[in-house]
Structure 1
Amino acid sequence: MNRIISVVTPVYDGGEAYLRETYDSVRAERERLPQGWDLQWLVQEDGTTGRPIKTLPSEPWISPGMAERGGAGAARTSALPRAAGDLVRALDADDVILPGGLAREITALEDHPEAGWCVSAGVDLLPDGSTAVGPYDPPEGPLTYESLLSAYDADAFPVLAQHLTARKSLLLAVGAWPALPAWETIATVLCCAAVSDGWMIATPGGVYRKHPGQTTAQADYSEVAGVEDLRVIVRAQAEALRATGWRWP
């Protein structure tokens, strides 16, 4: 029986403008997985309209779901009971996976069984169509809690947290994605790092689309999200978990 990587994508009604491009990239990745692997795509509406899911074809490897609105973090976590994979990969509804991205992430975690999670370098797709690499991308190799926390405190978080790949057992153990109005992906990476070193893949594995419609581009984003409160709680949760002394697995 094939092993499975479960890709989790939250989407809200009205936020599916790029979902078909995301689908195309996920479908293409199914053909590029290492031998003995298969892919499951969990598309979870943050809401109960059913409209975003209707834009996708009905295919056995796509698992749609929906629940009352609670934000992207709650949507991702609500999808996890359907996850059949040993590995779980985050992917936003306006992003795409670059060719071979999932295969490299699977291989990295198979080659480094001590690592509970990994992240590939990302490429920013800007509104004018140009691209840019992450300004703080670390080199290929281990990712430690200390280095990530230091970068977080310097407001220079070095990895694309929206494209985390983690072992499901680790993800569940740290509470998956918290129900925060923003920064929930960074919170999850820091909590994973608090109990398990990760692995950085220098080859870009995904495209992070920056566009006027995304939540973080809205004029009232800082006020609504409460950025300073987020900065405090994300760090406090990770530090509290680290202080327990527990290590995964």
Structure 2
Amino acid sequence: MSLLSVVTAVYEPEPEYLLAAYESLDSQHLPAGWEWEWLVQEDGRTGAAASILPADERIKLGYGRHNGVAITRNLALAASGGSLVKNLDQDDILSPGVLARDIAVLGEDGLPEVHWTVSRALDLLPDGSTAAVAGDPPDGRLPRGFVPDRWRAAAYRLPVHPATMCLRRNLITALGGWMAVPGSDDTGLLIAAGTLTVGYFHAEPGLLYRKWPGQESGQARHTEPVEWNARMSLIDERARALEQLWAQQSVPAS
């Protein structure tokens, strides 16, 4: 049996939203021979997630010190066992069929040259309506370098949504998991993955990205200029270093 690990960092979760995330995962239909596990890692030790979620042997609860979302996701990664790893934020909702689409590309019968996938995301607004985000690329392969090049050209704005990522396990572990930068750890991982390897974009929506007052990316501190520029600069510097190393390894030995 092949396994896809879904990783969720939890901190002071809204019960309604965390249950909606679970229900969206529970309703996924996977190809024959596949199953999922959900690594719900709490950033702390309050037991909040355990008090909200139902008993389900596919859910693996973890706890740790209060270290922030990147370390919390990486602790969940360490406890996971899947050959594929997908992120799911505690307040977002997976769209029907998204796991099957990820597996179709990254599974044993998929596209071996592709190492990660992203999907179209729709903003889920407080009134329950959804809104599309303009600028998605066409459905299909994303060449190596496409995402970081577009990101730089757009003043550090991504052309695809990092919350929709699914990656081959050997890629995510080789890159050190989620990058230890505040609020942009998924951007750091996606930029590094896109620098080294080919990806795939699913034009069919794969995620409802919840917009609500409590979300971290909606807080003023997330876009405070000094910190924002520092972490974007570090993500960019790492990507350029990876690109340089790739180029050196690609040159035949004399």
Q: Which TM-score applies when normalising by structure 2?
A: 0.91
| Distance verdict in 2 for CA 1:15–1:228, change over 3 Å | farther
| Distance verdict in 2 for CA 1:44–1:224, change over 3 Å | farther
Matched, 1:91 2:91: no
2:36 matched to which residue of 1? Answer: 39
Query: How many residues matched?
Result: 244
- Superposed, 1:179-190 pairs within 5 Å as 179-190=180-191
- Superposed, 1:97-116 pairs within 5 Å as 97-110=94-107, 111-116=110-115
Root-mean-square deviation (CA), in Å?
Answer: 1.7
Cα pair 1:145 1:190 within 8 Å, conserved: no
2:75 matched to which residue of 1? Answer: 78
Cα pair 1:89 1:163 within 8 Å, conserved: yes
Quick one: which amino acid aligns to residue 146 of structure 2?
Answer: S
- Superposed, 1:183-222 pairs within 5 Å as 183-222=184-223
Larger Rg: 2
Quick one: which amino acid aligns to residue 75 of structure 1?
Answer: T
1:124 matched to which residue of 2? Answer: 123
1:244 matched to which residue of 2? Answer: 245
Q: Which runs of 4+ in 1 moved over 3 A?
A: 14-17
Between 1:166-175 and 1:133-142, the stretch displaced more is 133-142
| Distance verdict in 2 for CA 1:205–1:48, change over 3 Å | same
Structure 1 position 134, deviation (Å): 2.4
Cα pair 1:125 1:208 within 8 Å, conserved: yes
| Distance verdict in 2 for CA 1:144–1:71, change over 3 Å | farther
Quick one: which amino acid aligns to residue 138 of structure 2?
Answer: P
Q: Extract unaligned runs of 5+ from structure 2.
A: none
How far apart are the structure 1 equivalents of 2:92 and 2:133?
A: 15
Percent pairwise identity: 37
1:4 matched to which residue of 2? Answer: 3
- Superposed, 1:221-232 pairs within 5 Å as 221-223=222-224, 226-232=227-233
Structure 1 position 218, deviation (Å): 1.8
| Distance verdict in 2 for CA 1:220–1:82, change over 3 Å | closer
